[in-house]
Amino acid sequence: MTARQRPWRTLGVLVGIGLVVAVGVMVASVHHAIDELPLSDASVIREQAAAKHLDPALIAAVIYAETKFEPRTSSAGAEGLMQIEPETAEFLAKLSGGYSFTTSDLGTPKINVAYGSYYLRYLLDHYEGNEMLAIAAYNAGLANVDKWAAQARAEGGELTVATIPFPETRAYVQRVLEAQKEYRATYARQLGLS
């Protein structure tokens, strides 16, 4: 081999090594993302999805975005897997015909997911099935999303993920929609989708 041929061979070897490393990183990233996609209380999610006519992957995705299935109390006082604020839970209890509610109930996964699912159904009905708007309202509140949607319509358009004014809500909606796809693909059997 001549000195002139060596650089090309070296370049070919380096490109080959680079491709192997890149593919390895991509595979590791996919496995890493799937490993970090938790699921618990699948039977509760399936039950509430059926009762409220919801996509169980959507419920799982909201739980993932809110708590990654590790219930806690937020700095705003929201509690449980789906991070329900006590005031919202009281509103939902009255709306659904419930007669008693205690804040400690929100720590019980079955009750928390029932309230969160009821609220998702309420938001989906309010937004005529538009999941993006319902998810945005779950995070930013109904009044904010109504205002944003009305402003977008007044300007001749519609509210999209990219035009959500709050960066936190925009990121939240993207996270939920992506997680929903991942839950459908990864946990179809556990969520009763297959």
Asked about 128 being catalytic, the answer comes back as no
Dihedral, 49, 95, 126, 53 alpha carbons, nearest 10: 20
Active-site residue, selected from the candidate residues 36, 47, 66, 131:
66
Q: Running DSSP on this structure, what letter comes out for residue 100?
A: -
Report the C-alpha gap between 185 and 194 in whole angstroms: 10
Q: Running DSSP on this structure, what letter comes out for residue 162?
A: G
Contact in structure between 49 and 56 (CB atoms under 8 Å): yes
54 dihedral zone (left: phi>0; alpha: psi -120 to 50; beta): beta
What are residue 79's DSSP bridge partners?
84
Residue reference for tokens 């070919």: 12
The 3-state DSSP class for residue 120 equals helix
List active site positions: 66
